[in-house]
Structure 1
Amino acid sequence: MSDAANSAPVVRLDNLRRSFTQGGVTIDVLRGVNLEIRPGEIVALLGPSGSGKSTMLQAVGLLEGGFEGLIEIAGINASALSGDARTTLRRDHLGFVYQFHHLLPDFNATENVVLPQMVAGRTAADAKARAEELLAALGLGHRLDHRPNQLSGGEQQRVAVARALANRPALVLADEPTGNLDEATADRVLEEFLKLVRGEGSAALIATHNERLALRMDRVVRLHEGVLV
């Protein structure tokens, strides 16, 4: 992270807003979020359940519309892009890890990491080599041919981490990535996750309600009443 302060932001949010209307009542979830994350920086997004962390990650991940304000990814104003262009930007620059692994059950660990690379245009041989490299780095070198139902919860989440990093994203977004694991397994998976992200040179925004885990990251921002504090 030594050069991060001198680098252009990987993501920049300026006055990001999001409201929902339920039963004729308007609920302001994001009320003017401002944030910059620079290359190699791992940022914890801390807040209790229901604080809007997932909504903010959906905005940064270009997963849905309805937001006001600027979302800039890798120097590109995503707010002004068409749907197809946003999809391309998301594919080329972002990786995702969720609380639940969402692995494809009919494919083994290697294949789950190969598939997003193939979608991005990588050859099968290169994608397989990259998948095996990442899985080995996460301690799964002996589980390459196992399907999700043959893996433990921690192993499944490690495969999800490898999948998120497969296309060398500029930014990894993680929504409670260890929230479905017991404490000891969560600690191990997070340690491996952070080590791999740093080794890959990616930036990361990791949403959590766990302050103990958040303090292991480079910087902590707190979402409170729709703004970062």
Structure 2
Amino acid sequence: MNDIVDPVVRLTDVTRSFEQGGVKIDVLRGVNLEVRPGEIVALLGPSGSGKSTMLQAIGLLEGGFGGKIEIAGIDASKLGKDQRAAVRRDHIGFVYQFHHLLPDFNAIENVVLPQLITGKPRTECDARATELLTALGLGARLEHRPSKLSGGEQQRVAVARALANRPHMVLADEPTGNLDEATADKVFAQFLALVRGEGSAALVATHNERLAAAMDRVVRLHDGVLT
């Protein structure tokens, strides 16, 4: 991972509005945030508060945002579609509430694929995938397809996939929201340990105060601004 001294993510007066039934809805109303290298930040807010929209902004997943978004020192607001895709590939990992694994590929292949896109040799990709999955307790499940894995195991594969390319920033949107409480606690503890061990920063959207308390810092999205 390249050394970054400045914030991994810096949002300056970020806005996002939608029109619904001819009415303008302001979801983000001037969001400002800095996340430092290695810092794990909880993004709290009730359902519908705009947490997912904010993660989409940081992940450069769609346009229509106002303000300035900087990723690893790069001003993303000045980038074209292909350049933004390159920033996502090189700097950002994603974990969603639902794992979105490819059903026809086994665990190790799901973690290998995003690495192959960057042009890394297959042997290096296999070794990295094995390392991550083993660290998450899946060393005996490498050849299993998602349908043969439990919900918690599937989500751990998704965590490994997000970290496969050694991202500077991991964006997690309710990463354990689809799991029962006991499984969620276990998977989230493993997620935190692995992210810290990798030295990545993370922004984790959640409505769970107990999970948020395990992170380095908590920010709250309320009425379109962070508090």
Same fold (TM over 0.5): yes
Match in the other structure for 1:207:
205
Residue identity matched to 1:154: G
> Where does the alignment leave 5 or more consecutive residues of structure 1 unmatched?
1-5
Normalised by the length of structure 1, the TM-score is: 0.97
Distance in 2, matches of 1:88 and 1:8, equals 20
Distance in 1, matches of 2:81 and 2:167, equals 19
Instruction: State the shift of 1:199 in Å.
Output: 0.2
Match in the other structure for 1:139:
137
Q: Do structure 1's residue 157 and structure 2's residue 155 form an aligned pair?
A: yes
Instruction: State the shift of 1:151 in Å.
Output: 0.1
Displacement over 6 Å in runs of 4+: none
Residue identity matched to 2:141: R
The correspondence for 1:11, drawn from 6, 9, 12, is 9
Match in the other structure for 2:85:
87
RMSD after superposition: 0.8
Match in the other structure for 2:97:
99
Distance in 2, matches of 1:151 and 1:74, equals 35
Secondary structure (helix, strand or coil) at the match of 2:220 reads strand
Instruction: State the shift of 1:141 in Å.
Output: 0.2
Distance in 1, matches of 2:192 and 2:8, equals 17
Match in the other structure for 2:121:
123
Instruction: State the shift of 1:123 in Å.
Output: 0.6
The correspondence for 1:181, drawn from 179, 184, 200, is 179
Distance in 2, matches of 1:192 and 1:14, equals 32
Superposed CA deviations along residues 168-215 of structure 1, whole A, max 9, x for unmatched, are 000000000000000000000000000000000000000001111111
Distance in 2, matches of 1:117 and 1:176, equals 24
Match in the other structure for 2:217:
219
Match in the other structure for 1:27:
25
Distance in 2, matches of 1:48 and 1:155, equals 27
Superposed CA deviations along residues 36-81 of structure 1, whole A, max 9, x for unmatched, are 0000000000000000000000000000000000000000000110
Match in the other structure for 2:146:
148
Instruction: State the shift of 1:7 in Å.
Output: 3.0
> Where does the alignment leave 5 or more consecutive residues of structure 2 unmatched?
none
Distance in 1, matches of 2:192 and 2:177, equals 15
Number of equivalenced pairs: 224
Residue identity matched to 1:220: V
Residue identity matched to 2:38: G
Superposed CA deviations along residues 13-37 of structure 1, whole A, max 9, x for unmatched, are 0000000001110000000000000
Secondary structure (helix, strand or coil) at the match of 1:30 reads strand
Distance in 1, matches of 2:226 and 2:164, equals 30
Normalised by the length of structure 2, the TM-score is: 0.98
